[in-house]
């Protein structure tokens, strides 16, 4: 069993989480880790939104997820908030860490009063589907993406 904490409760893991997000999604010519760190600093406050969660195995951070205002989907500016940047260390995948992170974020979103959540799924549609998410729409382009939705009025998916 892994412990899920808000990033503000474990600020010593800020650089690790920022590095995961940067390496997974933002590392490109001209970018530095600061493109992730600047907005991620907002997640170090105890507040309903935005929020970041980190999964811990003892004191070792093994995964993270964010509740953010938008995930860069310019075609759908009215949808918010978004589950973003779900990351689990490769050696911890398949052990329920991602599921625990998603469920912690969903619970937080419900408590914060959000009626709906959205996410961009590029290749893990079935993972989210098993957690009660449904396809909202598909966007085509150079990298086709699937936008998924979950109503926060729905009961949590069974564990």
Which pLDDT tens digit goes with each residue over 19-61? 999 988 888 888 888 888 988 899 899 988 999 999 999 999 9
Pick from 16, 101, 15: nearest CA to 52 = 101
Residue 85 has pLDDT above 90, yes or no: yes
Higher pLDDT, 158 or 117: 117
Could you tell me where the beta strands, DSSP code E, fall in the chain?
3-6, 51-57, 60-68, 82-88, 116-121, 134-139, 145-151
> How do residues 91-146 score in pLDDT, each as one tens digit?
999 999 999 999 999 999 999 999 999 999 877 899 999 999 999 999 877 667 89
Residue 157: what pLDDT?
Answer: 55
Higher pLDDT, 65 or 40: 65
21-to-33, 40, 84, 146, 152 alpha-carbon distances in Å: 9, 10, 10, 20, 25
Residue 19: what pLDDT?
Answer: 93
Residue 150: what pLDDT?
Answer: 97
Overall average pLDDT of the 10-23 stretch: 94
Confidence of residue 156 (pLDDT cuts 50, 70, 90): low
Q: Which two tokens stand for residue 96?
A: 């329920």
Dihedral pair phi/psi, residue 7, rounded to 5°: -60, -35
Dihedral pair phi/psi, residue 127, rounded to 5°: -60, -50
pTM to 2 decimal places: 0.90
Residue 18 has pLDDT above 80, yes or no: yes
Q: Which two tokens stand for residue 45?
A: 């406050």
Residue 89 has pLDDT above 80, yes or no: yes
């Amino acid at each position: 069993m892994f412990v899920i904490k808000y990033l503000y409760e474990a600020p010593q893991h800020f650089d690790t989480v920022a590095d995961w997000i940067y390496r997974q999604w933002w590392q490109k010519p001209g970018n530095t880790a600061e493109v992730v760190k600047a907005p991620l600093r907002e997640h170090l406050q105890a507040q309903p939104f935005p929020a970041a969660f980190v999964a811990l195995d003892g004191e070792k951070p093994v995964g993270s997820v964010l509740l953010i205002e938008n995930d860069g989907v310019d075609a759908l500016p009215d949808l918010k908030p978004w589950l973003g940047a779900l990351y689990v260390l490769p050696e911890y995948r398949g052990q329920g860490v991602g599921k625990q992170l998603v469920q912690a974020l969903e619970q937080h979103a419900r408590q914060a009063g959000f009626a709906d959540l959205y996410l961009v799924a590029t290749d893990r549609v079935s993972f989210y589907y098993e957690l009660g998410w449904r396809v909202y729409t598909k966007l085509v382009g150079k990298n086709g993406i699937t936008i998924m939705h979950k109503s926060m009025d729905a009961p949590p998916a069974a564990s």
